[in-house]
């Protein structure tokens, strides 16, 4: 009996640069257990169709949907397969993406290998992530573009620029949103919806899932309220702990917040 080929050897056979870049080794770790499942996989960016052919061979029972801004000649690229679907349009065109969502409804894996421009990467993520199934994966390739101003990245302000790398770095705070002890915390649309963000060389993986476990440290983003409830119910001395946590520490927290706000204004960090 011949064993099915692994992802890297299929990718090498079709000569997709996902093999050359070392991406297939990382993908294999995530995809091996999903290989025989019936999934809907969307890839942004088709070019010669080499990756679509790779996914089509690897995920035999899945539907592989490719989108590209340019017209793709299915005959010429040998993409006439029953499990490959191809559509022409831009990843940042809201109406086109809505059409794709209207047709396929939900996806299990989304791979962005399109323009790699900051605005497109972020816009596509915002448009498509709501339609990723729970436990689904959103992958962005070629994140090196985030360090290149020709792609809307920023090589001169790695920490605070609005690059696509920083967009994904900030998603890690969404993993821990319940723990943020800021009573004025403004909720984010990705709170409770992300269970993992992993970075590899030029690759980022975001796992969707329900992440609504309550914090053990704060109550509705307030450490003071949690402490007040805890101490007053344990000792029965509400007045003392009211003064301590609801008055003194609330004032302290408020000043700490104002200080940080001023710092951000002075340093123009918004
Ligand atoms: C790196 S290639 C894709 C390679 C392919 N995924 C593979 O691994 O074999 C990038 C593709 O993205 C397409 N592209 C560029 N801008 C796009 C956009 N705004 N929307 C959709 N596709 C885009 C290009 O036409 C090009 O075919």
Same domain, 259 and 168: no
Report the atom number in ligand 1 closest to the C-alpha of 68. Answer: 22
Is residue 2 domain-resident? no
* Whether residue 66 has its Cβ less than 6 Å from ligand 1: no
Same domain, 235 and 204: no
Same domain, 228 and 203: no
Same domain, 148 and 241: no
The per-residue pLDDT for 269 is 86
CA angle 192, 198, 199 (to 5 degrees): 140
Same domain, 252 and 175: no
What Rg value do the Cα atoms of the chain yield, rounded?
Answer: 23
Same domain, 178 and 241: no
Same domain, 175 and 228: no
Q: List helix spans (H) across 92-243.
A: 94-104, 118-128, 164-175, 223-235, 238-241
Structural domain that includes position 186:
7-208
Number of domains in the chain: 2
**CA 40 to mean position of chain CA atoms:** 17
- Token pair 């573009």 is found at 145
DSSP H/E element including 30: helix 23-31
Same domain, 101 and 37: yes
Q: From residue 222, how far is each of 86, 164, 171, 185, 259 by CA, in Å?
A: 49, 31, 21, 9, 18
pLDDT digits (tens, 9 = 90+) for 100-149: 999 999 999 999 999 999 999 999 999 999 999 999 999 999 999 999 99
Same domain, 182 and 61: yes
The per-residue pLDDT for 3 is 61
* Whether residue 124 has its Cβ less than 6 Å from ligand 1: no
195 SS3 class = strand
Same domain, 119 and 163: yes
Is residue 255 domain-resident? yes
CA distance 54 to 59: 8
Ligand 1 centroid distance, CA of 140 (Å)? 12
* Whether residue 16 has its Cβ less than 6 Å from ligand 1: yes
pLDDT in tens, the chain (270 residues): 566 799 999 999 999 999 999 999 999 999 999 999 999 999 999 999 999 999 999 999 999 999 999 999 999 999 999 999 999 999 999 999 999 999 999 999 999 999 999 999 999 999 999 999 999 999 999 999 999 999 999 999 999 999 999 999 999 999 999 999 998 999 999 999 999 999 999 999 999 999 999 999 999 999 999 999 999 999 998 999 999 999 999 999 999 999 999 999 999 887
Q: Where residue 191 sits, what CATH number does that domain have?
A: 3.40.50.150
Is residue 215 domain-resident? no
Same domain, 120 and 250: no
Determine whether 116 is an active site residue.
yes
For a substitution probing ligand 1, which of 27, 41, 47, 202 has the most ligand atoms within 8 Å of its CB? 47
Tokens of 106: 């939900």
Is residue 57 domain-resident? yes
Ligand 1 centroid distance, CA of 90 (Å)? 9
For a substitution probing ligand 1, which of 13, 70, 114 has the most ligand atoms within 8 Å of its CB? 114
Same domain, 117 and 233: no
- Domain end, chosen from 162, 184, 208, is at 208
The answer for residues whose C-beta is within 8 angstroms of residue 105's C-beta and 6 or more apart is 131
């Amino acid at each position: 009996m011949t064993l099915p080929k692994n992802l890297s050897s299929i990718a090498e056979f079709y000569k997709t640069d996902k093999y050359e870049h070392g991406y297939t080794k990382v993908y294999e770790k995530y995809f091996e257990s999903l290989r025989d499942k019936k999934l809907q996989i969307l890839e942004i960016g088709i070019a010669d169709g080499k990756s679509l052919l790779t996914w089509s061979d690897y995920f035999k029972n899945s539907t592989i949907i490719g989108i590209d801004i340019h017209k793709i000649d299915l005959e010429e690229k040998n993409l006439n397969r029953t499990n490959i679907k191809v559509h022409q349009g831009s990843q940042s065109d809201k109406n086109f993406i809505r059409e794709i969502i209207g047709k396929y409804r939900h996806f299990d894996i989304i791979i962005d290998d399109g323009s790699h421009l900051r605005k497109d990467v972020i816009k596509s993520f915002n448009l498509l992530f709501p339609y990723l199934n729970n436990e689904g994966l959103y992958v962005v390739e070629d994140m090196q573009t985030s360090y290149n101003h020709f792609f809307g990245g920023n090589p001169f302000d790695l920490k605070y620029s609005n690059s696509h790398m920083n967009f994904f770095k900030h998603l890690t705070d969404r993993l821990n949103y319940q723990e943020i002890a800021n009573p004025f915390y403004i909720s984010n649309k990705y709170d409770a919806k992300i269970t993992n963000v992993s970075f590899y060389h030029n690759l980022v993986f975001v796992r969707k899932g329900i992440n609504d476990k309550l914090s053990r440290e704060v109550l509705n983003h307030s450490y003071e309220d949690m402490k007040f409830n805890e101490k007053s119910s344990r000792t029965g001395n509400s007045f003392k702990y009211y003064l301590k946590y609801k008055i003194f520490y609330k004032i302290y927290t408020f000043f700490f917040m104002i200080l940080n706000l001023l710092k951000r204004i002075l340093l123009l960090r918004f």
